[in-house]
Structure 1
């Protein structure tokens, strides 16, 4: 077997780290970690008003909820686009 053939046989069906860890994925992962650190560092309670009711809740919960809503909206529009 030639080196090129053995490389193809070895990688068929198996992903390598280079395929999984692209620069874009690494950057998105780091941004997610930074966002989570920011969210969980802000633990004090705050008053939030959405249209009419005013609620008091931990700031981290409001930030996490906003992040989840933003991620869901982004995923929805990326799915529609493709």
Structure 2
């Protein structure tokens, strides 16, 4: 028989309710708005990458920048733990 002694453990939420925290909802909304912004800007533009100048769709430059930012953010969050 196992009995709970009423320690410091709090009951965990199961199912979908446990996955839908306010922080996760906020991040999902920001990610969705970022994708909408990126894909609304589809015209080609000239971009200088240090020395060469390239012409590419603006959405690709925005998406690449967002991915690099996410990777850098994940790296620093992981190092802080």
> TM-score w.r.t. structure 2 length?
0.81
Q: Cα RMSD between the aligned structures? A: 1.7
Q: Distance in 2 between matches of 1:19 and 1:30?
A: 18
Aligned-residue offset at 1:18? 2.1
Aligned to 2:32: 33
Structure 2 counterpart SS, 1:47: strand
| Structure 1 counterpart SS, 2:66 | helix
Write out aligned runs for 1:1-82 (5 A). 15-82=14-81
Structure 1 alignment gaps of length 5 or more: 1-10
How many residues were matched structurally?
71
CA distance in 2, matches of 1:54, 1:15: 52
1:35-75 deviation digits (Å, cap 9, x = unpaired): 00000000000000021100000000000000000000000
Structure 2 alignment gaps of length 5 or more: 1-10
Once the 2 structures are TM-superposed, how far is the Cα of residue 76 of structure 1 from its aligned partner? 0.4
